[in-house]
Amino acid sequence: KLFLGHAAYAQSLVLIVFMGGMALGSGLCARWSTRIASPLLGYALVEAVIGMLALAFHETFVAATDFTYAAILPALGTEWLALSIKVAVSCLLILPPSVLLGMTFPLMTSGFLRLVSSDGKQDSGRVLGVLYFANSIGAAAGVLVAGFYLIGAAGLPGTILTAAIINIVVGLAVYGGVRLTQEDATDS
């Protein structure tokens, strides 16, 4: 919205890149998940990387859009070329974190399902359903809190910072949990 404007094509583009990036990340993860020794460690890493990208996003966005407005757009002669450049810059900003976001649920579920299958005590369908429910509720709550409270209270940069911190904390917590579980397994 800040860079492409309010038009329907701009909203559609952002949605397409976001959902397409998530689908790409999920697809890549589905292809590689059987080769990953510890999907939960992969999940922790992806969460942390998403958080690190979010920490740098506001400054990167401002620098990229300022550079585009100051150096690139004035040199272009046609409106369609300027729009193409704005679309390309937007895609470059949105696509990497979207791909990573698409990787989170497959890695998390793969990791938990491996734990369940090794445990033999839980029904994997039930575990998958609970994870999907928790993920959906968490996503909805995050959107509601961010949209109706955080943006007004902390502004867009503060909201992004809050999300970054949450992602990093989740990544560190999962990493710590996996390491503790591995230590317990080795001690037994």
Which tens digits make up the pLDDT trace of 60-102?
A: 999 999 999 999 998 987 888 988 899 899 999 999 999 999 9
Average pLDDT rounded to a whole number, residues 157-177: 96
pTM > 0.95: no
Residue 123 binned pLDDT confidence (cut-offs 50, 70, 90): confident
Query: For residues 49 and 43, what is the distance between their CA atoms, to the nearest angstrom?
Result: 10
In degrees, rounded to 5, the angle at the alpha carbon of residue 112 between the alpha carbons of residues 46 and 15 is: 45
- Torsion over CA: 100, 15, 166, 86 (sign): positive
> In this prediction, what percent of the chain has a pLDDT beyond 90?
69
The yes-or-no verdict on residue 31 having pLDDT over 90 is no
